[in-house]
Chains A and B, each alone.
Chain A
Amino acid sequence: MPKGLLQAIVVLFLMFAISALAQGEGPKDRIKGTTDKIIAILSDPALKSPDRADERKRRIREAVDERFDWEEFSRRALAQHWKERTEEEKRAFVPLFGKLVERTYMDKVEDYSGEKVLYVGERVKGKYGLVKAKVVTNDKREIDVDYRLKYKGSDWYVYDVTVVGVSLVKSYRVQFNNIIKQSSYEDLVKRLKDKLAAEE
């Protein structure tokens, strides 16, 4: 075999191996990809100036939207009340709730100052995945963050985030259930809207 051909095969093989490594399929790689993207936006010095704050926010939001499945979030948070909603109500609810979760997430992320994210574990069970991460803060505390993902279509999407053992979806499920039981679904939507409007 000519030497050139062998080299070409080796190079081709390496290229495949590298590309396969680079675009990992697992939920952990997905979470890592999105987190890295957001950290890159947050630490981009060009985006730090106040006049570009909106652009910065928009770009983080895009990165989050790409990975988070707001419908799944809403479905799980409303739980038994989800089935009682009409298609229209569902369509209206998903972006509302999505915005609230996103804002919560943005609050946490906005004052990012070089915290490290460690990925400590990954589990996949059928179309469900769990990624365990640790955020090491600058005052050296470790915060456990678990992401729960679901494989939909051809990719993994986040449907719940658990911070120090407190699940976002569970927390909202209890609150939503309380509000709906005590007053009504309409009141819940109203309160959601008020909450979002209050500090925009």
Chain B
Amino acid sequence: MRKICGILIVSTLWFILPPSLSFCQSVEDVCPDQALSSEAPTEQFDRYDRGLDIDAVYDRFKYGRSVHQVKWGRHQTPTRISHISQKLIIAQATRSAPEPSQPKDSEEDLTDPFADEETVPPLKTIYDPLEKINRAFFYFNDKLYFWLFKPVARGYAYIFPQSVRISVRNFFDNLGFPIRFVNCVLQGKFEGAGREATRFMVNTTGGLAGFIDVASEKMGIDEQDEDFGQTLGFYGLGPGFYIDWPVVGPSSLTDTVGIVGDTYTQPLNYVIEFKYNVGIRAYDIVNSTSLTIGEYEDLKRAALDPYVAVRDAYYQFRLNKIKE
């Protein structure tokens, strides 16, 4: 019970604190004359990406309302917000802010960012004040993968056929149901929550404790990939900054809080002792690694700076997940 209270307090604080913090940082970004007068070099774009959605910040600035309320409103009535963002765009004439497109088609890139030769599209990337430490951890994780996880996963894959490994992955996926369900509900995605509940029931029974994903294969009910990090993003909280955790890998401040939050929504964590849990988790990693050998190698081979490539891929991937 104390644990639950703890996480509730932490998450409430998280909701309240960062908007005000980011707000302080972003005022000058929002300030019209500043934006008009400055040439707005690329670093400035990086800066306003760090905190919150700029529309939300402006909204808060103007109406003094909390950011997540605004975000909620945007999903319900996109048009209501658009006139506000319109003003913002005028204020930011020099920096080609993303146009307020329809909520579902977030492909702002559809329009040509080069149509006006003078403007350059903002370089969206994640704030990375800990780059030096992160690079060290990146190096560590890289070695950990090539020296430990990959060879172990290879040997494991040699013994067990792919079908077995897919079943094991399904089993672990099925166990993650509470996390997905709770976060669907938290984001008001009740249809998704329903799908998750159906999946869990069908796969746990008909799918023999989750080893077979009957729901996807036979009924076409796909997994709703939601977690607490995405929920925080959904309500307008930016990633904060990038953290490349040892072993765990790429993450952000928000997603780290998300991961911690998710461990509380996983009932198994209350039942299974910590030391066994670590073992189970390691097995999960080896199993899923055995199914994705080669993906990291491809990414590295294609990149000029693998660290930056992984960081940006993580940022884009999470952004896309939140949009979905």
Contact = CB atoms under 8 A, between A and B. Distances in A.
A178 B112 CA distance: 23
Contacts of A101: 302
B123 A79 contact: yes
A174 B123 contact: yes
Interface stretch (B57-65, B179-187, B315-323): B315-323
Contact of A148 (B110, B213, B321): B110
Contacts, number: 92
- Interface residue SS majority, chain A: helix
Interface of B: 42, 105, 107, 109-114, 117, 120-121, 123-125, 162, 166, 213, 216-217, 222, 291, 298, 301-305, 308-309, 312-313, 316-317, 319-321
Contacts of A160: 109
Given A83-B117, A107-B301, 11 more contacts: A107-B302, A108-B298, A123-B110, A130-B107, A148-B107, A148-B110, A165-B321, A167-B109, A173-B123, A174-B125, A195-B304
Nearest to B311: A174
B36 to A, nearest CB: 19
A165 B298 CA distance: 17
Interface residues of A, number: 43
A191 B304 contact: yes
A130 B110 contact: yes
B111 A178 contact: no
A166 to B, nearest CB: 5
Contacts of A176: 304
A103 interface: yes
Contact of A107 (B107, B216, B298, B308): B298
Nearest to A148: B109
A100 interface: yes
A43 interface: no
A167 B222 CA distance: 24
Nearest to A177: B123
A75 to B, nearest CB: 7
A167 to B, nearest CB: 6
